[in-house]
Homo-oligomer: A and B are copies of this chain.
Amino acid sequence: MAHLSDIEIAQAKKLQHIKKIAEKLGVAEDNLEMYGKYKAKLPLDLIDEKKADENNLVLVTALTPTPAGEGKTTVSIGLTEGLNKIGKQATVVLREPSLGPVFGIKGGAAGGGHSQVVPMEDINLHFTGDFNAVEKANNLLSALIDNNIQSKVNNLNIDPRTILWKRVIDMNDRSLRNITIGLGGTANGVPREDGFNITPASEVMAILCMATDFDNLKERLGNIFIGFTYDKKPIFAKDLKAENAMAILLKDAIKPNLVQTLEENPAIIHGGPFANIAQGTNTIIATKMGLSLSDYVVTEAGFGADLGAEKFLNIKSAFAKLNPKCVVLVATIRALRHHGGAAKEEYNTPSVERVEEGFKNLEKHIENIRKYNIEPVVAINSFISDSDDEVNFVIEKCKSLGVHAVLSEGWAKGGDGTQELAKAVVDVVENKATQYKPLYDWKSPITEKIETIAKEVYGAVNVEYSKKAQLNLRRIDRLGFNDFAVCMAKTQKSFSDNDKLIGRPEGFTVTVREIEIAAGAQFVIPILGKMMRMPGLPSVPASEGMTIDNNGVISGLS
């Protein structure tokens, strides 16, 4: 069989009308807001808090990833197919992909191979317009800020040098990282430095994903911290009376999107915040929607478990009172070789020794998950370059730790390749699930929360604060934001804040360089390294290889 690309597999699939998928969730057609025949928005009144509490939430995360990623989305979709195959009613709940990377290197994010959500073109492009709505709400606030600075009426005396709020665009566009605006004379605004972040980095996106309902969304939008007046008073979005208009722009974006997997199981895709400077997981509303309508919800969180799972558990689950009953740790033999010291050109070369050494990384993640009172299952995302010896080593080593490790072949076989994984997950959910507990209390001091994460999750021995971070801590205290959660911004390549420390580093100190504030999202963001908020395009952008014919059939999208 010739190798098919993701888009070819997706296009070969005859899709079910979305009303048929909704039927599987017990949702009548009349409740759907259809976007074409294969996408629909679900109204918020379908959320049933009691069911959301009772049904089974499974979080998919990963060991510390290589730059290619270890396939969490593919495993999440595959596992959902597998659960349905073994008779469980399961829905996968995912983030929406950003448009920017589609034209860059990375491509979209709708799974891969025979574990995809469809229609993949739509999901990877504008989808139902949620990212655009976030972008417009973000940029309306920017326009209102600059308009207030320009205006003589109701002028709030904002000091343009203190404005932390940036504009956003869902495009990989490095030239917009640092700009000066308001040039060209008195009619054209007040000159100041600004910049564009990519839309997933907008605090509006983080807020949309933390909101529990529309009123909560509005309140959070009003609480966005913008900067200071010339006489040092803090300015919030509500001071510009921005929150209603911003919420109006988000009136449809707040509703979760229903699509389908290649095996016609329900997929809810909603929200897409960055995993570095934000929480990196779908909306609370989408997760609760999934749990209200199905026995099992499989969801994922960005990067490795030290980042995505930590934030999912300490921020999202703690705030929304979710109770994840199993965590699936995705591992690849390739990534284990990497953590065992393999150079990039050796990633595809079997070596049980490398894998054994690299297993220390996975073992630390396993220990970490158990700190939340949750039992992990390890999913070995299968690659053709894996040797049986390596796979067997991982399975046996996990067994010695009391953890079920299973080969996951969703990419190659869809649900037929994930039934064993599904059974392992069900075993944990039915026999080993307890009440999860977060690692820290939101009410404890900011520095204590940071230290808990650094020491318990990362394995650091110490946390240092730069001069700037210390000033930021005082500002947070002065503004009364001590009760916020902590959303760590750290490299995904290491447990530490040093890219180069692979495996399970020990004895290290992490340095908090600065601490940002996302007052609407209700977290502070300790920055432990340089965080990219606006990617660039590569020398040969992916856009150059894309085509679309007169009938609208696309090729070259990945």
Could you tell me which A residues sit within 8 Å of B by CB distance? 33-37, 41, 99, 103, 121, 125-126, 129, 132-133, 136, 139-140, 142-144, 146-147, 150-154, 169-184, 187-190, 213-215, 218, 241-242, 244-245, 247-249, 251-252, 536-537, 539-541, 543-544, 546-552, 554, 556-557
Contacts and interface: CB of A to CB of B under 8 A. Distances in A.
Nearest to A127: B129
A140 B244 contact: no
Contact of A140 (B33, B171, B550): B171
A549 B174 CA distance: 38
A554 B214 CA distance: 12
A530 to B, nearest CB: 11
B248 A548 contact: yes
A215 B550 contact: yes
A543 B214 contact: no
A171 B180 CA distance: 18
Contacts of A172: 143
Contact of A245 (B177, B546, B551): B546
A16 B252 CA distance: 20
Given A178-B183, A244-B546, A248-B557, 17 more contacts: A34-B35, A99-B136, A103-B245, A125-B251, A143-B173, A143-B175, A143-B537, A147-B174, A154-B540, A177-B184, A178-B188, A179-B179, A180-B180, A213-B550, A214-B549, A242-B543, A245-B544
25 contacts: A33-B35, A34-B37, A35-B35, A35-B36, A36-B41, A103-B140, A126-B249, A129-B132, A139-B173, A140-B171, A147-B175, A147-B537, A147-B539, A150-B536, A153-B540, A174-B189, A175-B182, A177-B184, A177-B188, A178-B182, A178-B183, A180-B180, A214-B551, A214-B552, A251-B554
Contacts of A252: 126
A533 to B, nearest CB: 12
Given A170-B136, A539-B151, A184 B189 contact: no
A121 B557 CA distance: 33
A181 B188 contact: no
A546 B248 contact: yes
A222 to B, nearest CB: 12
A63 B34 CA distance: 42
A188 B175 contact: yes
A401 to B, nearest CB: 43
Given A34-B36, A153-B539, A245-B103, A142 B173 contact: yes
A103 B249 CA distance: 11
A10 B500 CA distance: 61
Contacts of A539: 147, 151-154
A175 B146 contact: yes
B33 A554 contact: no
B146 A173 contact: yes
Contact of A537 (B125, B144, B187, B536): B144
Given A245-B543, A543-B241, A251 B171 contact: no
A174 B148 CA distance: 12
Contacts of A175: 143, 146-147, 150, 181-182, 188-190
A20 to B, nearest CB: 14
Given A34-B34, A132-B132, A540-B153, A179 B180 contact: yes
Contacts of A144: 537, 541, 543
Contacts of A242: 543
Contacts of A126: 129, 132-133, 136, 249, 252
A249 B147 CA distance: 31
Contacts of A41: 36
A516 B451 CA distance: 60
Given A126-B129, A143-B175, A242-B543, A247 B548 contact: yes
A125 B548 CA distance: 28
- 8 closest Cβ pairs, A-B complex: A175-B189, A245-B543, A178-B184, A153-B539, A146-B175, A178-B183, A132-B132, A143-B173
A49 to B, nearest CB: 16
B251 A552 contact: yes
Contacts of A34: 34-37
Contacts of A152: 539
A89 B509 CA distance: 76
Contacts of A251: 121, 125, 548, 552, 554
A175 to B, nearest CB: 3
